[in-house]
Amino acid sequence: MAEVWDAVVVGAGIEGSVTAFHLAKNGCRTLLIEQFPLPHSRGSSHGASRIIRKAYVQQHYARMMNEAYPIWEQVERETGTQLYMKTGGLMVGPRSSKQLAETERSLSGAGSEFERLSSDDLKLRFPNLSFPADYRAVLDPEAGVLKADKALRCFQDLFVKYGGRIHDEEKVVRIDPGDVVTVHTSKSAYKTRKLLLLPGPWAGKLLGPLGLHPPLKPVRISVLYWREKQPGTYALKKGFPVFVDHTTLHKYGLPCLEYPGIFKLCYHSGPVIDPDDRDGVAGSRGNQEIVRMMCDYVRKHFPGLESVPAIQESCIYTNTPDEDFILDRHPQYRNIIIGAGFSGHGFKLAPVVGKLLCELAMDKQPSYDMTPFSLDRFHNTATPQAKL
């Protein structure tokens, strides 16, 4: 008789890999299936760096980050790999910004420290930034950079250490629900008691045949890197913080890390694409405009950077309308669990996301209120707002 797995996880991006890690650590016999050869750069989890911060507009994420940090540290200890570099995080915006006020409220509510910087403080502390006199900032002292590609590898290694199996270059092509789910791939078929779907930008393609059509939009993000005029000006080693601008749609930056002397500064939006054709016509549409807008932005606010990007790469967000994640069971097939719609901010939270999905799979009470992450919130007609 075919072996029945306790859990099959589809998708070995950061969310699937961390979820698989928690399952294996909790004694579940778990198979992690990935369509591409690992590591790959076609989804959302590739690249050397991501921002980690507690400074969130929504208090549920600020609270979850209190638990995420210790898990990141535990993985660093267990693998002997440095993954987190503390830089502090600067959230800037107009003095009247509701988002900054709400960020302060959620940091306070989560018991986390922060500093409020006036326009003069900003000028004094960060002379290589240039913002209008009616701007202010919130400084999150715990924020920093995660070494993303190393982190992904660490979680996959630990998963295997705890007895998990990884099958890469194997695409899931059909799912037959039931008390025991059958997962058909390009190479084989597997039976499992619990199926966890973490397919990143491919979520729509896997969920559709299961009768689910949440409003998910895969969006191509231009990852832009800018050369310093004077090497070291925005260096991590010199204490330059990670940065989020809350004016209109966000821009965000990370001090020089992966390419010496080159600062990563991106726009938090882009064209909707098909993940199997990320860099095709739809993906290229609007890119020139985004680059032009970012060149203007750099010229205005980062006077120490060359105002033409030195390197351009791409990555994909999978956006929900409210930018909250989907972490829920399939409404009809309760042993199928979904993690999707990480909306461009899911990396730092993956340790807690994985824990929650593991709790759902093991029929335990989830450690957090799951209302913000429910699938059925999309039946609500209220117009959502971008937050972060």
Ligand X SMILES: Cc1cc2nc3c(=O)[nH]c(=O)nc-3n(C[C@H](O)[C@H](O)[C@H](O)COP(=O)(O)OP(=O)(O)OC[C@H]3O[C@@H](n4cnc5c(N)ncnc54)[C@H](O)[C@@H]3O)c2cc1C
| Cβ atoms 341, 325 nearer than 8 A | yes
Residue 243 binding ligand X, by CB under 6 A? no
Q: CB count, 10 Å around CB of 282?
A: 14
Residue from the set 301, 348, 355, 387 that interacts with ligand X by CB under 6 A: 348
Residue from the set 46, 147, 220, 345 that interacts with ligand LYRWXNCF by CB under 6 A: 345
- The pair of structure tokens assigned to 284 is 């290229």
Calculate the alpha carbon distances from 379 to 93, 208, 213, 303, 383 in Å. 33, 17, 11, 46, 11
Task: Please name the residue that has the structure tokens 């299961």.
Answer: 210
Q: What is the smallest separation between the CB atom of 247 and ligand LYRWXNCF, expressed in angstroms?
A: 13
Q: Which residues, numbered 165-224, are part of the site for ligand X (CB under 6 A)?
A: 171-172, 198-202, 206, 221, 223
Residue from the set 8, 51, 68, 100 that interacts with ligand LYRWXNCF by CB under 6 A: 51
Q: What is the smallest separation between the CB atom of 158 and ligand LYRWXNCF, expressed in angstroms?
A: 23
Q: What is the smallest separation between the CB atom of 291 and ligand LYRWXNCF, expressed in angstroms?
A: 18
Residue from the set 32, 316, 326, 357 that interacts with ligand X by CB under 6 A: 316
Residue 53 binding ligand LYRWXNCF, by CB under 6 A? yes
Q: What is the smallest separation between the CB atom of 268 and ligand X, expressed in angstroms?
A: 8
Task: Please name the residue that has the structure tokens 């989890």.
Answer: 45
DSSP 157-200: HHHHHTT-EEE-S--EEEEE-SSSEEEEESS-EEEEEEEEE--G
Residue from the set 22, 46, 268, 330 that interacts with ligand LYRWXNCF by CB under 6 A: 268
Q: Give 219's Cβ-side CA count (13 Å radius).
A: 22
Give 319's strand partners: 217
Helices (H), 33-97: 59-79
The piece of 111-119, 244-252, 290-298, 364-372 that touches ligand LYRWXNCF (CB under 6 A) is 244-252
- The pair of structure tokens assigned to 172 is 């899931």
Pick 39 or 303: Cβ nearer ligand X: 39
Residue 13 binding ligand LYRWXNCF, by CB under 6 A? no
Residue from the set 204, 218, 344, 354 that interacts with ligand LYRWXNCF by CB under 6 A: 344
Pick 53 or 301: Cβ nearer ligand LYRWXNCF: 53
Q: Residue 268: which of ligand X, ligand LYRWXNCF, none does it interact with, CB under 5 to 8 A by kind?
A: ligand LYRWXNCF
Task: Please name the residue that has the structure tokens 């932005």.
Answer: 297
Residue 264 binding ligand X, by CB under 6 A? no
Query: Parallel, antiparallel, or unpaired: how do β-strands 336-340 and 189-197 relate?
Result: parallel
Residue 106 binding ligand X, by CB under 6 A? no
Pick 121 or 313: Cβ nearer ligand X: 313
Residue from the set 145, 244, 290, 294 that interacts with ligand LYRWXNCF by CB under 6 A: 244
Q: Residue 195: which of ligand X, ligand LYRWXNCF, none does it interact with, CB under 5 to 8 A by kind?
A: none
Closest C-alpha among 229, 233, 222, 301 to residue 266: 222
| Cβ atoms 17, 174 nearer than 8 A | no
Q: Which residues, numbered 16-35, are part of the site for ligand X (CB under 6 A)?
A: 16, 33-35
Give 144's strand partners: 52, 86
| CA 197/CA 194 separation, integer angstroms | 10
Q: What is the smallest separation between the CB atom of 53 and ligand LYRWXNCF, expressed in angstroms?
A: 5
Exposure b/e, 325-348, CB count within 10 A at least 16 = b = bbbbbbeebebbbbbbbbbbbbbb
| CA 351/CA 50 separation, integer angstroms | 14
Q: Is 26 helix (H, G, I), strand (E, B) or coil?
A: coil
The binding site for ligand LYRWXNCF (CB under 6 A) comprises 51, 53, 244, 250, 252, 268, 344-345, 388
The binding site for ligand X (CB under 6 A) comprises 10-16, 33-36, 43-45, 50-51, 171-172, 198-202, 206, 221, 223, 266, 315-317, 342, 344-348
